[in-house]
Structure 1
Amino acid sequence: MTILDSARAVADAEGDGAVDWDAVASAAKAATPPGSLDLGPGEADAYAADVRDARGRIREVSGLDFDVPETVELQTRHHWVDANVATFRRAFEPLNERASVLPGVARALNTATTAGALAFVSRNVLGQYDPLLLADGDDAHALYFVHPNIVRVADSLDVDFERFRRWIAFHEVTHAAEFGAAPWLPDYLESRMEAGIDALGDGDLRTEAFDELNVAMTAVEGYAELLMDEAFDGEYADLRRKLDARRRQGGGPINDLVKRLLGFQLKREQYERGKEFFTYVAGERGLEGASVVWDDPEYLPTDDELDVPPRWLARVPA
């Protein structure tokens, strides 16, 4: 498929809802090459081994009891788009009953915007721990690695591919640890997501639900960064430095604009702000003391506490 096919998929968006999700998938995949899943001998097993080793090491360091998905999925960019279209479809289904995301915004524009966002992210995402929010069925979580992106970024950063692959595996497994330690977390995120999306349908862009969702995800990303540094079983200083630089770097004015529109700036702030909070807390109470945040939703930091960690320490028992 080509960019022209992508435009046609958007133009042919059908139905009465806010977004034509089939057109989103077609357009997003048309706008970006899938990349190769041409794996070397034993490479799929190496991904699985990295995940197993990460689980054991993170359990040992954190004391958290958790599981990882039974199947590790190696994806192309197109596979990742399909998986996330399914998530978006579940999350935004209430809006499809109201015909538009914002009053006066056309269905084709909603479809095009969503497709463009997924196409852009699919070219940048490396791995994803997916708690499968709002999903029906027995599968509680999934773990994806976008192999062509990992290969490309390892090459662009001039780092050893196998070590970089292992680093990404450790990072995603830290998220599995968080959700395993906090069985209440999926319901907490789902409820805020649903409330925020419902408000969007009424034209309300700034809601308490989205604020709470952002604070929770800042805690998720920040704790993962802290645990990552404690658990990784190899040299990582250069990886941390280069990945932090990659998060900050631009790619020209168009890329910078797209990143801001898609919340990439917010994502970077979640990493940095959350890491600073948990570094302070762990310095006062150790990693085990920082892990208390997952014992109860009341122990999540507030927005103010993220910037002033002593307030959290005064409120939450050791």
Structure 2
Amino acid sequence: MDNATSPAAATRSGVVPAGGADLDHGLPVNWSLAKGTAARLMAAGPQTSPSVAAELVARLRTDSATAEGHVRETTGLGAGLPLLPADVLDRPAWAHAALDGMKALTAGATLPHTPKLARAVTGTTAGAQVGALLAYLGARVLGQYDPFGGPDGAGRLILVAPNIYAAQQSLGVDSEDFALWVCLHEATHRLQFTAVPWLRDYFSDQVGQLLSIREPDAAKLARLPEAIRSMRGTGGDPLALVELLQGPEQKAVLDRLLALTTLLEGHADHVMDAVGPRVVPSVDVIRERFTARRRGGGIIDRLLRTLLGVEAKMRQYAVGAAFVRHVEGEIGMAGFNRVWESPETLPLRAELDAPQDWLRRVA
């Protein structure tokens, strides 16, 4: 992809797209308020001794680099890249880092200009909402790779120590095995973005496009009755409602983003399961209990997960992993790696459920 034409890349480099005087750049979110709200609402982490906490932090830093070495052997990606430790953070620090990453990722959005006061009011509301969302997720996220995080914006692998400790205690599994198992998934995400040079800008560009497409409200309102009726057949899936309200251009970009994120999550889950039996002795117990944990929770927690799209993300793991498993079974991991050659070799959204179609088109 030509980075010079990417809205997100252009915004980060200071280049203002044509018509810039009539546009606002970046989402109208008061990011400082979001950070303050997340910190204020964040639940306290589990109690443990300083020595146990220090040992876990040291282990996670080491395991993150070790895990990526195992992932490279399995995937054939990333030869010659440095093996780096993760940043191990607590809950508030994760929320702070996540918001910085969100701000960078959405910087390429170009929206119709609104008066300064109106944008400030919108930013205040959005900041409080985003902060509250991060406070909820901050007690649940085990780790993530942020392609735009870190001091230089070049990417950052984050592991949330209190959440990993709490999950391990809740599941009743071996602490050393669980730490390495978590690192396998997150290290795969880091390798995806560091070993595939075009992926970072492609992802940013697609997000920027999606956020920048504006459709008249009248067109959305015209589709609303049909969307509400169709919701009866979707189980109340909020993503389905979003898709039903999309215009054709928005739908095309959303399809590309969903196909990419499903591939990334499924690939990470597949690799984690492929590597696990070799290096994590209790992997079968961990996987069984963790899968049950993903489906569990009280009624309020399940409702929130549905509203926030977390349940849709769980389906991404399964669909994406099945695609990777099928393709690797047909043509091996080296053949599967053709997905990383260019944006054109990524699976289409429909191909994720029909991997033979991707094989015929690409491989």
- Aligned-partner Cα distance in 2 for 1:200–1:267: 25
- Aligned-partner Cα distance in 1 for 2:204–2:268: 20
Residue type matched to 2:144 in 1? Q
CA deviations 1:148-202 (Å, max 9, x no partner) are: 1111111111111221111111111111222233111111100110011112697
- Aligned-partner Cα distance in 1 for 2:215–2:110: 6
Aligned equivalent of 2:272, options 228, 234, 242: 228
Matched, 1:187 2:201: yes
Aligned equivalent of 2:133, options 87, 108, 117: 117
- Aligned-partner Cα distance in 2 for 1:307–1:106: 39
- Aligned-partner Cα distance in 2 for 1:287–1:304: 21
How large is the Cα RMSD of the aligned pairs? 2.7
Q: TM-score, normalised by structure 1?
A: 0.84
CA contact (8 A) 1:72 1:144 kept: yes
SS at match of 2:77: coil
CA shift for structure 1 position 298: 1.2
CA deviations 1:108-148 (Å, max 9, x no partner) are: 43223211211111110001111117x8x744211111111
- Aligned-partner Cα distance in 2 for 1:57–1:277: 21
CA contact (8 A) 1:69 1:142 kept: no
Q: Assess, with a 3 A threshold, how the Cα gap between structure 1 residues 247 and 68 changes in structure 2: closer, same or farther.
A: farther
CA contact (8 A) 1:34 1:78 kept: no
Aligned position for 1:246 = 293
Q: Assess, with a 3 A threshold, how the Cα gap between structure 1 residues 153 and 95 changes in structure 2: closer, same or farther.
A: farther
Q: Assess, with a 3 A threshold, how the Cα gap between structure 1 residues 177 and 202 changes in structure 2: closer, same or farther.
A: farther
Q: TM-score, normalised by structure 2?
A: 0.74
Q: Assess, with a 3 A threshold, how the Cα gap between structure 1 residues 43 and 148 changes in structure 2: closer, same or farther.
A: closer
Residue type matched to 2:130 in 1? T
Aligned equivalent of 2:92, options 78, 96, 108: 78
Q: Assess, with a 3 A threshold, how the Cα gap between structure 1 residues 39 and 24 changes in structure 2: closer, same or farther.
A: farther
CA contact (8 A) 1:280 1:309 kept: yes
SS at match of 2:213: helix
Matched, 1:56 2:102: no
Matched, 1:310 2:356: yes
CA shift for structure 1 position 33: 2.9
CA contact (8 A) 2:105 2:148 kept: no
Aligned equivalent of 1:288, options 290, 313, 334: 334
SS at match of 1:89: helix
CA shift for structure 1 position 211: 2.1
CA shift for structure 1 position 106: 4.6
SS at match of 2:145: strand
Q: Assess, with a 3 A threshold, how the Cα gap between structure 1 residues 78 and 242 changes in structure 2: closer, same or farther.
A: same
Runs of 5+ consecutive residues of structure 1 not aligned to the other structure: 1-16
Q: Assess, with a 3 A threshold, how the Cα gap between structure 1 residues 69 and 77 changes in structure 2: closer, same or farther.
A: farther
Residue type matched to 1:159 in 2? V
CA shift for structure 1 position 305: 0.7
Q: How many residues align?
A: 296
CA shift for structure 1 position 34: 4.5
Matched-pair identity in %: 32
- Larger radius of gyration between Structure 1 and Structure 2: 2
Question: 1:1-318 alignment to 2 at 5 Å?
Answer: 18-35=28-45, 38-40=50-52, 42-65=55-78, 67=81, 70-93=84-107, 94=109, 98=113, 106-132=122-148, 138-199=152-213, 206=246, 207=250, 208-232=252-276, 233-235=279-281, 236-252=283-299, 254-317=300-363
CA shift for structure 1 position 209: 1.7
CA contact (8 A) 2:111 2:212 kept: no
Residue type matched to 1:196 in 2? L
Q: Assess, with a 3 A threshold, how the Cα gap between structure 1 residues 281 and 190 changes in structure 2: closer, same or farther.
A: same
CA shift for structure 1 position 23: 1.0
- Aligned-partner Cα distance in 2 for 1:163–1:211: 36
SS at match of 1:33: coil
SS at match of 1:288: helix
SS at match of 1:144: strand
- Aligned-partner Cα distance in 2 for 1:202–1:119: 33
Residue type matched to 2:33 in 1? A
CA shift for structure 1 position 97: 7.3
- Aligned-partner Cα distance in 2 for 1:34–1:242: 24
